Amino acid sequence: MKNRISFKLDVRAYTLIIALIMIFVVFTILTNGDFISSRNITNLSRQMTVIGILAVGMTLIIVAGHIDLSVGSLLGLTGGIAAILQVWYGWSTFPVIIVTILAGILLGLWQGWWVAYKGVPAFIVTLGGMMIFRGILLGISGGQTVAPMNESFRVIGQAYIPYVIGYLLTAVLIVFAFIMVARKRKRRQKLDLALSPVSFDYGTVIVFSVLITLFVYMLNRYHGIPVPLLILLVIAGIFIFVSKNTTFGRHIYAIGGNPEAAKLSGINIKRNILSVFVIMGALSAVAGMVLTSRLNAGTVSAGQMYELDAIAAVVIGGTSLMGGVGTIVGSILGALIMASIDNGMSMMNVPPFWQYIVKGMILILAVWLDISSKKKTAS
């Protein structure tokens, strides 16, 4: 039995990687090499984690054909809840984490119920949620900054993984990548499906392994792998698997791509839409705790404008605002691109107003490219 050979590149993913490399090269030149110092790479990886966590959930929301404008306020509220429970009421870290995540889940469930079962557009529900959650935060905190957090809680956003464990995790990840490629090739060969050249599949993994090892080496030259980055990678890994290898993930893409066809095929649209909002609520709570831990305080301004940064990261990462198309890997790259631009311009002392202008133009350009590519495909 002869297998067909295919050599197909994910053009969008490679475009993002090339854009990211160009951004690194430009800022490295303009900052005389400071941009790629171990300290700045570590700071950059910490800065992107909150938006990265939000972007994972936002990818599922947008792929399903909806939007969530409340994630910034929900992040601020759940982070405030965590701070209040620990600082004012003396709760230990573990119950604070559990209750904060449950709060995020309940608030996500509430919004998802309105969208899925009452038919209120997600734009309106989450716009209302954005104002409601911010108002609740102001009310329960009295407009105060709530600090300081316990040392055990600060681990979430400020601690680092020891060097040895960092290299061990890297080795495990590389071995896992090779195993997954081998299994994928074996499965496709058994089904007589198209295969990419062996040199391409394993060459890609080798390049990935070298880059990951170099990245971990740079982090270890400073203090090690930041715990919030590890949290982001674990969350991303879980939902990459869910989106690609589970019935729930396939249903989300089907709903966003063609709701009518999904309904006729027997997919429970309401339950799945409710589920993505619940997931978004839980991830907002996790992001809220990471930010509160990093700041060592719960503040009333926490999370402001974060919803726009998360949406921008997702769109730049290739997720279509029309639904049905998008990847979590692309969204993480989009978050890294946004964080890199912020970080690089801050190092160059670029005025904040220019930073907003540049990010806004990048977002418009990303959407234009998405629309243009769809028109070319349709024609």
pLDDT tens column, 53-81:
999 999 999 999 999 999 999 999 999 99
Burial of 186 (0-12, 13-18, 19+ CB in 10 A): exposed
226 phi and psi angles, rounded to 5 deg: -65, 140
This prediction has a pTM of 0.92
- Other Cβ atoms within 10 Å of 282 Cβ, number: 23
- pLDDT value at 216 more than 70: yes
pLDDT tens column, 235-247:
999 999 999 989 9
The CA angle 90-95-96, to the nearest 5 degrees, is 65
Residue 277 CA, chain-centre distance (Å), reads 15
In angstroms, the Cα distances linking 145 to 29, 158, 297, 365 are 39, 19, 7, 38
pLDDT-wise least confident of 4-8, 42-46, 284-288:
4-8
Q: Which of 122, 114, 134 is nearest to 72 (CA)?
A: 134
The predicted structure's pLDDT at residue 339:
93
> Average of pLDDT values for 12-34?
87
The predicted structure's pLDDT at residue 200:
84
The predicted structure's pLDDT at residue 6:
41
Q: Going by C-beta distance under 8 Å and a sequence separation of 6 or more, which residues neighbour residue 282?
A: 57, 101, 104, 105, 108
Mean of the per-residue pLDDT values for the chain? 91
Cα(22)–Cα(192) distance, integer angstroms: 39
Higher pLDDT, 374 or 247: 247
Cα(235)–Cα(84) distance, integer angstroms: 26
Burial of 228 (0-12, 13-18, 19+ CB in 10 A): buried
Evaluate whether 219 touches 166 at the Cβ level (below 8 Å). Answer: yes
pLDDT tens column, 303-341:
999 999 999 999 999 898 888 989 999 999 999 999 999
Evaluate whether 105 touches 278 at the Cβ level (below 8 Å). Answer: yes
Cα(237)–Cα(284) distance, integer angstroms: 17
- pLDDT value at 150 more than 70: yes
Instruction: State the amino acid at position 115 in one-letter form.
Output: V
Q: Is-cis flag, bond preceding 148, omega within 30?
A: yes
Length of the chain: 379
- pLDDT value at 87 more than 50: yes
